[in-house]
Amino acid sequence: MNMKKYRNIAAFGMSALLLCSCGGDWLDTAPTSTTGSSTVFESTENAAMAINGLCKMMTRQYLGSQGFNGEGTIKMYYGNYPSENFSVNLPGWSNTINGRYLDNVTSTYDYYPWYYYYKLIGNANTLLANIDNASGSQEDRDFIKAQAYTFRAYSYLMLAQLYGNRWTDSNEGTTDALVLRTEPTNDDMPLSTLGQAYALIYSDLDNAIRLYESSGKDRDENDNYSPNLNVAYAVYARAALTKQDYRLARDYAILAREGYPLMSVSDYQAGFCTPNSEWIWSSYGALDETLYYYSYFAYIAYNSNASAVRSYPKCISKELYDQIPATDIRKELFLDPQDDAYDSSTGRADGDSDLDQRARQAWPDLKSNAVVYAYMQFKIAAEDMPGVGHLNHFRSSEMYLIEAEADYFLNDGDGAREALLALTRDSGRDPEYTCTATGTDLLNEIKKYRAIELWGEGFEWFDLKRWGNTIERKSFADGGNFITVLAVTIEPNDNNRWTWRVPRRETDYNHAITGNGVDSE
């Protein structure tokens, strides 16, 4: 299928993509084969179900591949695997983990995020173009329109982080980045600049906030899966941080976490697979909505029975683990090898070793046929087999970290330290935590606690890119815990400055795009 047809599906495929049948109470719709676009927009009740369809698109399988599963793939393949502190014994994935596909415009890895997010954007555009004609109250129309704007802003933000330069490399946003589609059309369109992309993101979020407020509505109490006003604030905070608009980032981060207090220590140790007090936005997961062995949790959850976890458990880097204080409960979520023996080239423990037995005693839900590795993670679990879980996108913890970083760059060291103390000491994560750092040491403290707090949730590569930091992974021989082929150093200017190329499947059928290195193999 060519890109024209994909874009056509993204723009007009409402009946196939938005009114998808879902189990349980989350979404109950007519079969997609009997639902057309006219039905979607005949009432706000139907249009609300279309928003649920957009939510569902974030956890669907795509491109006929086992591994491409909506938002979970972005977190795993693009945020975790190529980062600095996420270790896994996968030598066959070295091209992905070492960032070798960023320049390859024919690679599926280059194409997938473009395909996925423009599919969300296309459907949001169709909603925005038609919702005013739906019967129902103005308040309902405003709320649905606000949600569509939020989806579009979020999708463009993710695309900007992947296919746009880091802001410091963009000459104040003048470098080419994305095709900015705001109408349900598949017409040829040139690339817009990164600055124009952020202007659209900001405009969409301004519109969303205005409409959420005019609607006077919110999502249902048990609905953590569709956007609301706090989600728009959270997207704004993340976007502003990425664009280095630090005052906006701080202000919206504070707004976003209002009403979402930090989780308890017991919730923190519960596996990150069920919404709790600080989850601002997530994707629904249950046995009747499972992707089986292809979900995010089937690739990372320590207790999953999927071979991707049983054979290749995910581990924190030794360097980051060693930086977590002994008094911090987050340190307990990774397997400390202590003085127990394990394979000095892979990190794997023998089945009858002390390390293996200690892991199974501490975490009895670890599968009997799963292998044990030094520093393996026990932070993220599956709620049910093989990989069922609710997938988080925004937490209040991230908002505190955004506030701390923004305050640092606004020369408010006291504010930055207070945010770190609130996140770490006052939440009970580490009751003995103190912070007196200043200057560069304070920035490094913020970076360290972002890496600790958000480990495994798909953030680190994006963070390292926007900071312009070097990735340095150490092999076992050099005192780290990466296998040799993954123990590499990646500089900020390597691999097209960590910027994915516009995929060939776009440029072959969108003849308005020229230049920008899009013809590079």
pLDDT digits (tens, 9 = 90+) for 36-56: 566 788 999 999 999 999 999
- Asked if 29 contacts 19 with a C-beta cutoff of 8 angstroms, the reply is yes
Look up the pTM and report it.
0.93
Residues 6 or more apart from 275 whose CB is under 8 A from it?
A: 224, 282, 390, 392
DSSP letters spanning 340-363: ----TTT-BPPTTSHHHHHHHHH-
Residue 365 covered by a domain:
yes
- Asked if 417 contacts 442 with a C-beta cutoff of 8 angstroms, the reply is yes
- CA 259 from chain center: how many Å? 22
End-to-end C-alpha distance for the chain, whole angstroms: 21
Alpha carbon distance 197, 191 (integer Å):
10
Alpha carbon distance 453, 445 (integer Å):
12
Alpha carbon distance 341, 379 (integer Å):
23
Alpha carbon distance 137, 153 (integer Å):
25
Confidence at 348, pLDDT banded by 50, 70, 90? very high
Alpha carbon distance 39, 16 (integer Å):
12
- Res 10 pLDDT > 50: no
Which DSSP symbol is given to 43?
B
Q: In this structure, which amino acid lies at residue 379?
A: K
Residue 324 covered by a domain:
yes
Residue 511 covered by a domain:
no
Residue 326 covered by a domain:
yes
pLDDT tens figures, 311-340: 999 999 999 999 999 999 999 999 999 999
Average pLDDT, the chain: 92
Tally of structural domains, the chain? 1
Confidence at 35, pLDDT banded by 50, 70, 90? very low
Interval 63-86 mean pLDDT: 93
pLDDT of 298:
96
Residue 319 covered by a domain:
yes
State the helix-helix crossing angle for 396-409 and 413-424, rounded to 10 degrees. 160
- Asked if 329 contacts 429 with a C-beta cutoff of 8 angstroms, the reply is yes
Alpha carbon distance 520, 495 (integer Å):
12
pLDDT of 374:
98
- Res 30 pLDDT > 90: no
Tokens (6 digits) for 346: 């892979």
Q: Is 87 helix (H, G, I), strand (E, B) or coil?
A: strand
Residue 306 covered by a domain:
yes
Give the CA diameter of the chain: 68
Q: Nearest 10 degrees: CA dihedral of 36, 37, 38, 42? A: 110
Alpha carbon distance 366, 362 (integer Å):
9
Alpha carbon distance 268, 210 (integer Å):
34
* Residue-range definition of the domain harbouring residue 370: 287-389
Beta strands in 181-278 (DSSP E): 192-193
Confidence at 305, pLDDT banded by 50, 70, 90? very high
Interval 415-442 mean pLDDT: 98
pLDDT of 289:
84
pLDDT tens figures, 214-258: 999 999 999 999 999 999 999 999 999 999 999 999 999 999 999
HSE, CB side, 13 Å, CA atoms: give it for residue 221: 0
pLDDT of 313:
98
Confidence at 28, pLDDT banded by 50, 70, 90? very low
pLDDT tens figures, 457-492: 999 999 999 999 999 999 999 999 999 999 999 999
- Asked if 127 contacts 517 with a C-beta cutoff of 8 angstroms, the reply is no
Structure-token match 């770190």, residue found: 420
